[in-house]
Amino acid sequence: MYLSARARLILEQFLDYSLPVSLKKLSKDLNVSERTIRRDMKEVEDTLFSYNLQLKKENGLYQLLGSDKDIQNFRWYLMDLSYNEYSPDERQLRILKTLLKEENGVKLIGLANDLNVTVSTISGDLNKLEEQLPNGVTIERKRGAGVSLEAPEIEKRHLMSEIVGEQFPNYQLLKYFQKKEKSEMTTTWLEDRLLNLVDENILQNVEVHIREWREREVQEISDEAYVNLVVHLSIAIERIIDGNFVQSYDYEQEILDSSEYQTAQRLLADILEIESEVVPEGEAVYISMYLRSLKSRKADKVFFENEDMQVILFAKKMIGLVEEELDQELPKDQLLKGLISHLKPTFRRLEQGLRIYNPLIQSIKQDYPELFQIIRRVFDQIYQGDKVLDEEIGYLVLHFGSVLLQLESEAEFSGLVVCASGIGTSRMLVTRLRQKIPQMKKLQTVSLFELAKKRKESDIDIIISTIDLGKVDFDYFLVSPILTEQEIMQIDLYLKNAGKTYSQRKNSTGTGAAELTTYGAIQLIEERQIYHNIVLDILKNFNYVFLEKQMGTTEDILRAVCTQLLEKDSTINVELLISLLMKDENWSGFGIPNTRIGMFHGRDEMIQQPFFQLFHLSEELSVKGMDQTEMNVNKLVLLLAPEKYSQEGLKVLSYISAMFVDDPELVDILEYGTVKEVSNYFVKRLMDFLAI
């Protein structure tokens, strides 16, 4: 079936709208006149009719009506549809793709013939493209030679990755990777969406290697980061095969000794079927930068090291300024965890000049305009580097938006929430569900990879997904990450039709409280027992020592500090531990700003048990703070853990680390309190942690 470009765009808009929409809004979103929309409505309605769908018009508003199954089938039809007429945006996208692929330039007449338009139209498209290109990328026009794209190799790869990202807004790529059998229809759809920027065989080969690496190394990364890595690596492989290499890269020498560099080198060698030694250094560094910027889905799986402590300081300042702007107190503990998890890879991306694609940015700006402006102002005020892209700010808005919604929410229900966009998005969706349907209590956020396993393990009432799961053998709701009122109404209706109304669920327990099964009680008690044992070990090794005389150099002070550990564990190699703590990456910037406290922390195989110890120096020691300023300290904190320490243990150590940044009371107690008062403070805080 032939479908004009504008009719297809109108249909795509109706699929995206959850609420009835006016032609005025539709014309505004598509940047055309209402008369143009009316002219295409006949084609739109005829097309929908052939798929058992219809447009209902009431009070001047249009709404797409039909069963979920028919709507889903129609989505697949639009994705698989081949067409030969392009909208201006699509035409410009294909011109950009051609310029990226053709190193020697291309003639205007050739582009015009390929896209079935005039040369003047192509010239206009090139002018619009130039306005959208990032700094350092230009379109060169040379008489007789045509037009070409002038940009560094890395910038070209970034543009290719963004194009691919824009073509898969609902994570169809992730769904494609999940399919064990690739049908001819799916292959045609994929090739069209990839715009020939990446060969399908290369994409599949890269995905297999990344999947094996993820499973082998037990990498806890988000689905979004997983797909981005596959796309970036696939484009790199395609460019290398075509003879386009990253010749140089601005990086620190230490990255060559990093585990990310070794992983990147091994992945490239395996995929290209060459020896690791032959892999170009620039290419391995390029991929290792992306490996470093991967974002973990687990916000709690953090043991704060120096980089993390600097992120904590930034996040705390950000929270404080946002609270001032909003004139509202925010739940700092939860917000701090989410921001730390997101900001660490964010700063790595900014430092390395990497860009991120945010498919939600327009929705975020539209639905949270004031909050977006606040987060933008606050971030720019604190961050000392170049101005960051709106895409990065958008993800931070989701973190703050989720806790703002939670302030108005109550907990209750049972379901899985499938979300690939990371912690901020999934939290916002879960919080909005709980806010609008207070009885929803047991909601788990899962990735697409975890969905099948979680369905088998859990008693699930409903599955809600921001990802198009395709043709599956179970019911689910496809919703936007921000969750519209219409979607909430549909979920409500579904539950009632299933015979599980909220009143029935509440009356089944008498008081509305959730019943705790024997299995659930065992799990809860076992988890509490794990944390009790960890806190017990930490308290047994806790010590607050006054070093009565100055020991000389920093190394001498560390030797005195580390020697104290021998009383608890005689197997510790003091000199080796000093060497580890004196490494530049551990020593640099360890002073906590606005205090007189310095912190050492790390994990090593020689450490057999957790250590948390405090030392009071007889004289101040000059060090570099985490904000890179010189400062004096008279207290040293030592936090050590085994190399392979449990996630529960790391969470407790994270909690302890955060105290020194979070709590002004602790700073005062350390400055003026007695040994007993300091000890009592930490005992109380750890007991509070166990109570939580």
Looking at residue 407, its pLDDT comes to 65
Range of weakest confidence among 26-40, 116-130, 175-189: 175-189
Mean pLDDT of 427-438: 73
Mean pLDDT of 109-136: 84
Question: Distance (Å, rounded) from C-alpha 592 to C-alpha 666?
Answer: 13
Range of weakest confidence among 13-22, 229-238, 251-260: 251-260
3-state secondary structure of 142: strand
- Which tokens hold the place of 256? 């060559």
Which position has the higher pLDDT, 563 or 299? 563
Q: pLDDT confidence of 412, banded at 50, 70, 90? A: low
Q: Residue 134: pLDDT above 50?
A: yes
Mean pLDDT of 70-89: 70
Looking at residue 503, its pLDDT comes to 34
Q: Mind listing the pLDDT tens digit for each residue in 493-514?
A: 566 544 433 333 333 333 333 4
Q: Mind listing the pLDDT tens digit for each residue in 197-223?
A: 888 889 989 999 998 888 887 566 777
Do 636 and 612 form a contact (C-beta atoms < 8 A)? no
Do 349 and 383 form a contact (C-beta atoms < 8 A)? no
* Inter-CA distances, 109 with 55, 126, 142, 148, 518, Å: 41, 13, 14, 14, 74
10 Å CB burial of residue 434 (0-12, 13-18, 19+) is buried
Which position has the higher pLDDT, 277 or 295? 277
Backbone φ and ψ of 479, nearest 5°: -130, 165
Range of weakest confidence among 65-74, 382-391, 625-634: 625-634
Between the two ends of the chain, the Cα-to-Cα distance in Å is 60
Q: Residue 292: pLDDT above 80?
A: no
Which position has the higher pLDDT, 26 or 624? 26
Q: Mind listing the pLDDT tens digit for each residue in 517-548?
A: 666 667 677 778 888 989 999 998 888 888 87
Q: pLDDT confidence of 187, banded at 50, 70, 90? A: low
Q: Mind listing the pLDDT tens digit for each residue in 250-281?
A: 666 777 888 888 999 999 999 999 998 899 98
Q: Residue 555: pLDDT above 50?
A: yes
Do 463 and 470 form a contact (C-beta atoms < 8 A)? no
Residue with tokens 């094996």: 212
Contacts of 201 (CB under 8 A, 6+ apart): none
- Type of residue numbered 66: G
Looking at residue 269, its pLDDT comes to 94
Looking at residue 275, its pLDDT comes to 92
Q: Minimal CA–CA distance to 41: which of 22, 59, 18?
A: 22
Mark 522-550 as b/e (b = at least 16 C-beta within 10 Å).
eeeeeeeeebeebbebbeebbbbeebeee
Question: Distance (Å, rounded) from C-alpha 168 to C-alpha 187?
Answer: 14
Do 206 and 230 form a contact (C-beta atoms < 8 A)? yes
> Domains, the chain, ranges and CATH?
5-80 (1.10.10.10), 88-292 (no CATH), 306-360+368-392 (no CATH), 413-507 (3.40.50.2300), 529-691 (3.40.930.10)
Looking at residue 631, its pLDDT comes to 84
* Inter-CA distances, 509 with 28, 482, 506, Å: 50, 31, 6
Which position has the higher pLDDT, 193 or 496? 193
Q: Residue 179: pLDDT above 70?
A: no
For the chain, percent of residues with pLDDT exceeding 90: 9
Q: Mind listing the pLDDT tens digit for each residue in 344-377?
A: 778 877 876 777 767 677 778 877 888 999 999 9
Q: Residue 112: pLDDT above 70?
A: yes
- Which tokens hold the place of 472? 């599956």
For the chain, percent of residues with pLDDT exceeding 70: 81
Mean pLDDT of 587-606: 75
Looking at residue 238, its pLDDT comes to 92
How many other C-beta atoms lie within 10 A of the C-beta of residue 662?
15
Q: Mind listing the pLDDT tens digit for each residue in 37-51?
A: 887 888 888 888 888
Looking at residue 41, its pLDDT comes to 85
Looking at residue 301, its pLDDT comes to 41
Q: Residue 61: pLDDT above 90?
A: no
Looking at residue 458, its pLDDT comes to 74
366-369-373-376 Cα dihedral, nearest 10 degrees: -40
Do 165 and 359 form a contact (C-beta atoms < 8 A)? yes
Question: Distance (Å, rounded) from C-alpha 605 to C-alpha 598?
Answer: 24
Looking at residue 318, its pLDDT comes to 92
Q: Which of 52-56, 84-88, 626-630 has the highest mean pLDDT?
A: 52-56
Which position has the higher pLDDT, 34 or 141? 141
Looking at residue 267, its pLDDT comes to 93
Range of weakest confidence among 55-59, 490-494, 616-620, 666-670: 490-494
- Considering the chain, what is the average pLDDT of its residues? 78
Looking at residue 59, its pLDDT comes to 81
- Which tokens hold the place of 478? 């496809």
How many other C-beta atoms lie within 10 A of the C-beta of residue 509?
10
